[in-house]
């Protein structure tokens, strides 16, 4: 995964903060594409945005899996049993 030294620890962000960062970076990326012709800066914003979006996707998948297991009535085993 992409790492940037100025980027905070994404795993510690709340859902609201994560969504806020995605909105902010999306706005900044649009502005940069419209007004600035600096491909390096645009690339850096795109990379940072992709990291936040991947984290959002991973959280949604985890939440979906947890809900699916709960709806099926599976007991919570944590990480003790992994059949994958």
| Region 26-47 average pLDDT | 92
Tell me if 30 is assigned to some domain: yes
pLDDT at 79: 62
Tell me if 52 is assigned to some domain: yes
pTM given for the model: 0.75
pLDDT at 9: 81
Tell me if 9 is assigned to some domain: no
Tell me if 35 is assigned to some domain: yes
How big is the chain, counted in residues? Answer: 84
Tell me if 83 is assigned to some domain: no
Q: Which two tokens stand for residue 37?
A: 């012709």
Q: Which domain holds residue 63?
A: 14-71
pLDDT at 71: 85
Tell me if 7 is assigned to some domain: no
Write out pLDDT tens, residues 50-81.
999 999 999 999 999 888 888 888 776 666 66
Tell me if 79 is assigned to some domain: no
CB count within 10 Å of CB 56 equals 17
pLDDT at 11: 84
């Amino acid at each position: 995964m992409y790492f940037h030294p100025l980027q905070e620890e994404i795993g510690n962000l709340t859902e609201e903060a994560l969504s806020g960062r995605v909105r902010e970076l999306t706005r900044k990326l649009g502005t940069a594409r419209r007004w600035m012709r600096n491909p390096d800066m645009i690339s850096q914003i795109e990379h940072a945005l992709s990291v936040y979006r991947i984290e959002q996707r991973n959280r949604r998948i985890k939440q979906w899996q947890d809900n699916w297991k709960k709806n099926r009535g599976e007991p919570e085993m944590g990480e003790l049993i992994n059949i994958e």
